[in-house]
Amino acid sequence: MKRTFQIVAVALSFVFVVQSQAQTADSAFPKGELSTVKNHTGHIWLKELNVGDSTFDPSIAIATYDAGAKLDWHSHPGGQVLLITEGTGFYQERGKPGRIVHKGDVIKCLPGVEHWHGASPQSGFAYIAVTPTQKGKTIWLEPVSGKDYDRVR
């Protein structure tokens, strides 16, 4: 519990920095690199802020999506917290209805839960992802079907 609190506290400090900087600049951090891996649809940029290691476990990254871009179904052995910083997006856990998320929302995905997230068709979407890494890396599954994506709207 104490470890989880520490991870969330670090992530929230990043959010406050991003929000305070947003008033004077587009973003506190560069947009990152356009992802070229095959675990998503559309354009997604990633900026790694912290690579998890034995001292500071969580991977902390900023992801920025074009409208309609989405990740494939996946899970995180250590869970994940998403801090939505821009736009409107979708989030769905396997077997549950999808939901629409907005700037300021916080998503807590429990360890091992299969899920996907992406931008809505009309809006770009960005978040800070806090992903504990000590229990393993992301497990990638199948692409999100058009039916699953369309059902969230």
pLDDT digits (tens, 9 = 90+) for 127-141: 999 999 888 999 999
60 strand-pairing partners: 50, 130
CATH number of the domain where residue 90 is located: 2.60.120.10
Q: What is the pTM of this model?
A: 0.81
Give the whole-angstrom CA distance, residue 117 versus residue 101.
Answer: 10
pLDDT digits (tens, 9 = 90+) for 76-127: 999 999 999 999 999 999 999 999 999 999 999 999 999 999 999 999 999 9
Q: Count the domains in the chain.
A: 1
Sign of the four-CA dihedral 91, 93, 94, 95: negative
**Domain residue limits at 24:** 2-152
Which ranges constitute the DSSP H helices of the chain? 2-22, 146-152
